[in-house]
Amino acid sequence: MRLQPALIAPKPRFEAIRSRIVALPEPAARAKLNRDDLLAALAIFIVVVVSTFPVVLPFALMHDVGAAKNASRVIALAMLFLAGLALGRYAGYGAWRAGLMMALLGVLLVGAIKALGG
């Protein structure tokens, strides 16, 4: 008795999917970056820098690493709360509820980091 491999779809449907894939045009030999791609990359870079700068700032301004770490965590939790507030308002979920849930998630993550020695 020969075991057949399990297919995702029945054979006729599988063949239809395969024929559509084979009929697709060949991709370009080499992808090219255009102006929009570079602007999108720059925008992502700016968002990342702006969102991480407040969290890193205490380490640049304080000499005590422990106090800077605690200040950084407080700033990160405040940013999570504000992001949750904005998300909840935008999604219609309830601004305060979403903000508190995001902050609680941050508190849980900080607790896990401390438990692991960080």
pLDDT band at 26 (very low <50, low <70, confident <90, very high): confident
91 SS3 class: helix
pLDDT band at 18 (very low <50, low <70, confident <90, very high): confident
Around Cβ 59, how many Cβ atoms within 10 Å? 13
- pLDDT confidence of residue 2: 54
**pLDDT tens per residue, range 89-104:** 999 889 999 999 999 9
The residue that leads in pLDDT, 2 or 44, is: 44
What's the whole-number average pLDDT of the chain?
Answer: 89
**pLDDT tens per residue, range 27-41:** 878 878 899 999 999
pLDDT at 61 over 80: yes
Task: Evaluate whether 58 touches 71 at the Cβ level (below 8 Å).
Answer: yes
- The pLDDT of 52-79, averaged and rounded, is 95
Task: Evaluate whether 7 touches 14 at the Cβ level (below 8 Å).
Answer: yes
pTM check: above 0.95? no
- The pLDDT of 102-115, averaged and rounded, is 94
Nearest to 101 by CA among 73, 71, 80, 70: 80
d(CA 104, CA 109): 9
- pLDDT confidence of residue 4: 56
